[in-house]
């Protein structure tokens, strides 16, 4: 069953997401980039407040493909008490060196790679991420104003991406300005999770506050889509 990930920025949003039954809490600062990071102190506080009620991931920020900088950020973010550390790869520049450096961390930390559908993602190299010990991989969008994931990449390519990640034993997810209406189209691909931020917020603006009614609408869309999928299988 596909789970729901919600990106939150503070204690209020964290509690709203947990109360709504969100499956994974993602700690991110949408004001500072596609994978903008909260401060380590904020991450630590929010992970502690979650207190094991659901898994927590955190982004390390929009960092360059520099091995030492990435490995340092992974260690520091992991030390804040989160379950998953998300690292963005905005191109395949220096990718081999980065994967080699991060490979040494795979057994100790649950690192999730994030690729970007609007930046010519290295989808042919998904197997290399698995070989480097990444616990998971997801496909997102870097630009948040030019259409969502389904406007940036064909549904068949998403299906192939999910299937390959699953075959490699990797946790997999799809995100990128997803809207409630996208859920019925993506659930049949059976990704492990779908990630949301803007669709949960007032005026659908990712830098605005999460609106409780929008959060519940997206959560209910998961329930409805899962039920319809079950009826189709039956």
C-alpha to C-alpha distance for 132 and 129, rounded to whole angstroms? 5
Asked if 3 is an active-site residue, the reply is no
Asked if 86 is an active-site residue, the reply is yes
Q: What b-and-e string marks burial along 194-224, b requiring 16 or more CB atoms within 10 Å of the CB?
A: bbbbbbbbeeeebeeebbeebbeebbebbee
Query: Is residue 171 a contact partner of residue 207, using CB atoms and an 8 Å limit?
Result: no
Catalytic residue among 16, 24, 26, 28: 28
Question: Dihedral (C-alpha) 134, 139, 141, 147: value to the nearest 10 degrees?
Answer: -170
H/E stretch holding 216 reads helix 212-233
Closest CA to 154 of 112, 121, 199: 121
C-alpha to C-alpha distance for 6 and 215, rounded to whole angstroms? 9
Closest CA to 17 of 50, 60, 40: 50
Cα separations in angstroms, 208 against 9, 49, 189, 204: 10, 22, 30, 8
> Which tokens is 55 given?
């898994």
Helix/strand/coil for 114: strand
C-alpha to C-alpha distance for 155 and 191, rounded to whole angstroms? 12
Catalytic residue among 14, 50, 73, 86: 86
**Catalytic residues, which ones?**
28, 86
């Amino acid at each position: 069953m596909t789970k729901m990930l919600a990106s939150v920025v503070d204690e209020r949003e964290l509690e709203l997401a947990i109360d709504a039954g969100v499956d994974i809490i993602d700690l991110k600062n949408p004001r500072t980039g596609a994978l903008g990071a909260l401060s380590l102190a904020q991450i630590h506080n929010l992970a502690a407040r979650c207190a094991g009620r659901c898994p927590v991931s955190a982004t390390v920020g929009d960092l360059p493909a520099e091995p030492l900088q990435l490995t340092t950020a992974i260690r520091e973010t992991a030390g804040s008490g989160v379950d998953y550390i998300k690292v963005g790869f905005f191109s395949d520049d220096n990718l081999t060196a980065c994967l080699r450096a991060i490979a040494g961390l795979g057994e100790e930390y649950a690192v999730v790679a994030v690729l970007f559908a609007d930046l010519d993602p290295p989808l042919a190299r998904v197997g290399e991420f698995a070989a480097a010990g990444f616990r998971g991989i997801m496909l997102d969008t870097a630009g948040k104003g030019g259409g969502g994931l389904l406007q940036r990449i064909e549904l068949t390519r998403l299906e192939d991406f999910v299937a390959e990640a699953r075959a490699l034993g990797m946790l997999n997810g799809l995100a990128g300005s997803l809207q409630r209406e996208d859920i019925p189209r993506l659930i049949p691909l059976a990704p492990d999770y779908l990630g949301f931020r803007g669709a949960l917020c007032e005026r659908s603006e990712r830098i605005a506050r999460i609106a409780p009614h929008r959060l519940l609408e997206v959560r209910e869309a998961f329930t409805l889509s899962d039920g319809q999928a079950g009826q189709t299988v039956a």
